[in-house]
Structure 1
Amino acid sequence: MVAADGSIAPVKPLEPLVIATRESRLALWQAEHVKARLEAAHAGLQVRLLGMTTEGDRKLDVTLAKIGGKGLFVKELETALEDGRAHLAVHSLKDVPAELPAGFALACVMAREDPRDAFISNRYDALHALPDGAVVGTSSLRREVQLRARYPQLRIEPLRGNLDTRLRKLDEG
């Protein structure tokens, strides 16, 4: 840019694009993936992550069905967008309410990764190998219904928390 005196003014670097994200390992991986894709597509673009803890991350003692599941994981990120701390947010689509608040848009959906669920056990290779009365944990009402229908001999219990928390609970029994 040319200043009034004819000199060339230094170019002001663009401010970094800020992505709001939850701080769980999975959410950070997803946000890093989006960040890398943006930086690869736009040379010189600077992107940084704004990690946040949401109400859904804090309320681990109540099932999602009882406390209103979806919005619990997005409100704090929406607030960061509204007050200008972030330019966009990255979420798992399962955590986004079907109806978005006024002023918000679902601007991009990344290619879907493998949608299959995983069974993780320290002792058994598959659900059908579990003994009668064995406890299976899940936070998903859909998974709970499917498990109860297919394996009525198992006890299905609520299991909240991020991946690390769930694996720790598995190790603790």
Structure 2
Amino acid sequence: MTKTITIATRESNLAMWQTKYVAALIEQHTPYQTQLLPMTTEGDQRLEVSLNKIGGKGLFLKELEQSMQAEESDIAVHSMKDVPADLPEGFTVCAVFPRADPADAFVSNQYKQLSDLPQGAVVGTSSLRRQSQLLALRPDLDVQPLRGNVNSRLAKLDDGQYDAIILAAAGLQRLGFDDRIASRLMAPDWLPAVSQGAIGIECLSSRTDLIQALSVLNDENTWLAVQAERALNAGLNGSCSVAIGAFAECVDDEVSIQAAVFSPDGEQTLAAHTQNSDPVAAGKAVANTLLAAGAQAILDLAEETG
């Protein structure tokens, strides 16, 4: 008898794309069949308030985790950038998939790149990390909040509410909006969110059957990079109420990670880089370097003004 895995997922177009992608790989590479359990999370419902004011990106996970605890679902699929550095007790990430484009995308109907924007141009983002980097590079810009799914954000741009918006390149590409990317904002000059572009599976730590079965899907290089970036984030007590950018990649037999913390106004930036064969050690080392250079004061400022 074929076993079925029930996958909890957010209902947005992007979340459904990601979950269907994962479901297809599960059915292709494991003995399991799949069925989806679409859900609306608090983070999806409260679009009028910035995430850092209502509890952070963990609001995208809470209902999905509750469904696993209630045995309504077996696993949940997430954008790893939405997964907090510290998972609730009893949960684990059991697989990540090959990382897509980790860059942020500059999206505009009139301008090709950030430097082309006129003074005072209105740029939309509700990410403090993106806001900080925008203001660090262009303090003259008018950065305004922008929440909602990818389609609604693009619609607001097309309605003329913004001169440009910043989105994750991977999300646009997955939904077939490659042509909306005017240019890509890339490391080392611009750092993405921790684990941006990576998709992961979360399950209960007690589900050793699933952890073993789904381990065949894990992409080792992506997992090494994600571990380094998440270790950095944990070392800095990172959340969406502070501005932290990071990018790790495998270089030969080591993990190379670069990271930075930014003040909300973009006036203060601290950056660090290291390489190590142990991804967690690499992430912790960069966090410690940043803290030794005074990162805590910048992080505290972001918390106070968030």
Scaled to the shorter chain, the TM-score interval is: 0.7 to 0.9
What TM-score do you get using the length of structure 1 for normalisation?
0.87
Provide the C-alpha distance between the structure 2 equivalents of 1:135 and 1:67, rounded to a whole number of angstroms.
25
Provide the C-alpha distance between the structure 2 equivalents of 1:94 and 1:154, rounded to a whole number of angstroms.
26
Partner of 2:71: 84
Partner of 2:26: 38
Offset of residue 14 of structure 1: 3.3
What TM-score do you get using the length of structure 2 for normalisation?
0.51
1:136-147 equivalences under 5 Å are: 136-147=123-134
Offset of residue 15 of structure 1: 4.3
Identical positions, percent: 56
SS at match of 1:113: coil
**Contact 2:26–2:33 (Cα < 8 Å) also in 1:** no
- 1:112 is matched with which residue: 96, 99, 102? 99
Provide the C-alpha distance between the structure 2 equivalents of 1:158 and 1:53, rounded to a whole number of angstroms.
22
- 2:5 is matched with which residue: 3, 6, 17? 17
Flag the structure with higher strand content. Answer: 2
- 2:62 is matched with which residue: 75, 79, 96? 75
Provide the C-alpha distance between the structure 2 equivalents of 1:132 and 1:51, rounded to a whole number of angstroms.
43
1:124-168 Cα deviation digits (max 9, x unpaired): 111111111111111211111000000111111111111011011
Unaligned runs of 5+ in 1: 1-12
Structure 1 segments of 4+ aligned residues over 6 angstroms from their partners: none
Provide the C-alpha distance between the structure 2 equivalents of 1:161 and 1:37, rounded to a whole number of angstroms.
28
Provide the C-alpha distance between the structure 1 equivalents of 2:2 and 2:89, rounded to a whole number of angstroms.
28
Offset of residue 99 of structure 1: 1.4
Matched to 1:125, the amino acid is: K
SS at match of 1:72: helix
1:44-97 Cα deviation digits (max 9, x unpaired): x31111111111101111111222212110011011111111100001111112
Q: Does 1:125 pair with 2:112?
A: yes
Q: Does 1:97 pair with 2:108?
A: no
CA-based RMSD: 1.3
Matched to 2:66, the amino acid is: T
- 1:59 is matched with which residue: 46, 64, 69? 46
Count matched residues: 160
Q: Does 1:161 pair with 2:163?
A: no
Matched to 1:141, the amino acid is: L
Provide the C-alpha distance between the structure 2 equivalents of 1:128 and 1:48, rounded to a whole number of angstroms.
46
**Contact 2:7–2:76 (Cα < 8 Å) also in 1:** yes
Matched to 2:2, the amino acid is: L
- Name the larger-Rg structure: 1
